[in-house]
A and B are shown apart, each in its own frame.
Chain A
């Protein structure tokens, strides 16, 4: 929906390994976001981007980095995954002043 593709949709990995999640949009929207969703915590913003190479931290950014080298792609990297980063990760996009639209999520399990 809304021209957002997240990949992979599911991933299982081990503690200490690097992990990169990709968000790809076809809407040419300015803003892109990464959230994590955990039981009892709702949705929490990790990082967001307001343009190519322009990013900023959200409320739970520790242990995560992001990059946006093209308008359409926003990458989330866990440099050294920990079990506390097991979660469902959602990407969202929005135009200037418009509502956010969400991808279908990536379920990440870190063993």
Chain B
């Protein structure tokens, strides 16, 4: 079956540090890949997505590249801010997912200190 594995947190960083959150997946065919962010007390927000191999999704200074050869979709940001403190979820949608369903990773909590 399909699965998503994320690095466990929490990840604690200082402001302006470089952030990487690893995400690898298992799926048949060519899934679509997503990163969602959840701020405290809120729902998940779509951060970025990629729908085919070598696509790069980007938003708000975050980037992730769909690497088919390593089945990965690592999230990066060059200089984090305190406001980036949140839980980040990697997710995939299988190529012919019934019901447009997503498979989520377990989430990675990021804490950015001033």
Contact = CB atoms under 8 A, between A and B. Distances in A.
Interface of A: 1, 31, 33, 41-43, 45, 48, 50, 56, 58, 90, 92, 94, 96-105
Contacts of B43: 1, 90, 102-105
Contacts of A41: 106
Contacts, number: 46
Contact of A1 (B34, B45, B101): B45
A43 B46 contact: no
Interface residues on B, range: 10 to 19
A66 to B, nearest CB: 13
B106 to A, nearest CB: 4
A42 B44 CA distance: 12
Contact of A96 (B100, B105, B106): B100
B42 A105 contact: yes
Nearest to A56: B99
Contacts of B46: 99-101
Contacts of B44: 43, 90, 92, 102
A96 B100 CA distance: 7
A42 B34 contact: no
B31 interface: no
Contacts of A94: 100
B110 interface: no
Q: Nearest 3 pairs between A and B by C-beta?
A: A102-B43, A102-B44, A42-B106
6 contacts: A1-B43, A48-B99, A100-B46, A101-B46, A102-B44, A104-B42
Contacts of B89: 42-43
A42 B45 CA distance: 15
A43 B34 CA distance: 14
B107 A48 contact: no
Contact of B45 (A33, A48, A102, A105): A102
B66 interface: no
